[in-house]
Structure 1
Amino acid sequence: MGYKVVVCGATGNVGREMLNILAERQFPVDEIAALASRRSLGTEVSFGDKTLKTKDLAEFDFTGWDIAFFAIGSDGSKEYAPKAAKAGCVVIDNSSLYRYDPDVPLVVPEVNPEAVEGYSKKNIIANPNCSTAQMVVALKPLHDRARIKRVVVSTYQSVSGSGKGGMDELWDQTKAVYNPTTDVEPDVYTKQIAFNVIPHIDVFMEDGSTKEEWKMVAETKKIVDPAIKVTATCVRVPVFVGHSESINIEFEDFLDEDEARDILREAPGIMVIDKREDGGYVTPVECVGDFATFISRIRQDSTIENGLNLWCVSDNLRKGAALNAVQIAETLGARVLKKG
């Protein structure tokens, strides 16, 4: 016996990817419903070899359904997630709304799978921020070996993290560069994104950091260890899909780069591609459509006593969103629900 599954926001980038991954990983689905806003009612979406017509989220009754994946943003989750949870349907929410709620587990299955068991307090499990998800997959096995004191991370985040609007803006501005008669003013972003980088993701906070940077700090502490100090600079780059991160790690104990490489090779969810030669590393273009978090450029940091540098790349629509959500459902099924 499988699950009755709901995908809310099924017409968006992440919602469509959730449907794809549920089919690819053969998640045990007995029945599936694709939900969207009223303006997208009847839009067709794919689920494996099936075609689903979207239903109206506002009118949907979650009673009798097992798991609902939410990919509709914080405002939508605030309105509909409690309704689904109250009806007995476990919500796996991709928005930031519940990530910092102490009664809602924030889960990356390769890192803290046991946390799913705390779902019952609100019947909700939170999916982390895309940039956090791939980073903590890399940090956890190293932390288990040598205890991480501090992380300095710079991100290079693709426009798909802003949704379809961000992708359209990059495409339209890129075309406009080659057509002098056309001018595409920034709308999604504060400055031109084509052939540019923007050190600004989400809103600014009082201390000068952006909320995206704050998320990486708070979420790493909640998922891995509250004692880890994190400082982040998050940058939007003109890449369609795939987030990259330059990560500097300071440990309590010495960790040799060769041992770190071996640890990461054995860690779940990670693929190490690290050759010290031209092209011996992974870039965002190469990670698109893949389940893995790729690690390259592992090397000692000689400027501190116990330091390492590494390069981390992952498909943000997959590990950063849809894949992690499906993995949460798989973990919940294996540890708690035990169907399928």
Structure 2
Amino acid sequence: MRPAPPRGPVRYDGLVIEFIDEDAARLGALTSGQVDVIGSVPPSRAATVEATDTMRLWKVQAPGAAYSVVFNTENGPLRDVRLRKALMLSVDLNQLVDVVFFKLYARAWGMLTPATPHYSPAVEGSWPVDRARAAELLDEAGWTGRDGEGYRTKDGERLTLSWPYASGLQSKADILGQGIQAEAKKSGIHLRWYPLDVGTFIERTSAGRGLDMYGTSFVRPEPDILRFFLGSQETLANGGGNVFRLNDPGLDRLLDGAAAEQTPRRRADAYARVQRRVIDEALVMPVYVPTSLVGASDRVRGLAFDAAGYPLFNGAEREAP
């Protein structure tokens, strides 16, 4: 007699990784059973995965820096904190992020994501859309005129902000940028969202000039990522991410003090102060929380995720057919 086939889950013998760039083809490989797990499930198709009995969807928020628009506080119009705050208050991120990402990504309130150690919930709800207040701030800053297209002016000059991006971005990022551009226009702010070839984009960002803002995010399970982007010593020349050479001694003291704290509670309190200052000074406009959408066959068991939100397969098993 032949032995009965094994019942229950069995360990995988190995892991084969395939690179399937096209969204539909990648999802098709999962639905057809050619693969057991896929990353980057298209947000537009996530509901299909969730509604299917043979598949499961994981939504894992990444730790680190949320996708944020970093402002040039050293050169150009955004040196004025009133303009930075006016732009932040002009954009309805709740609606925009829901529409672009099919309600699968959360809008961000702070530069740290909720999955990051010492994230402070106190920033949540601290800067809701308020175009009336945005208009007051623009008036206070002297941008009281209007041109024929409805944009704010001062001394005959239109209020224009330059926001270039590297060409070749995925359509979702492009749609998001266009949405923020349209929201800014409602307050009379001319936001130039336009593509540059990669070489020119790197040249401009490396110089920290010729642009008023840029978008970025970074996966790291550590709140000190804030110092990487905002510490005065963390310039590109020093290997950091402080593109616009922000030099805020008060923020430096907070960042250094938070990193030096030894006890979890005091460290959390210190980073809460940092996160609050970043919003109070409108140094960045947090937009959305990067989220990993992982689809898997319903027969996969034991799939886990590491501290950075990446899938772990060492304990994975496959239910026998």
Q: Same fold (TM over 0.5)?
A: no
The structure whose Rg is larger is 2
TM range (shorter): 0.3 to 0.5
Q: Which has the higher contact order (CA 8 A, sep 6+)?
A: 2
TM-score norm. by structure 2 comes to 0.32
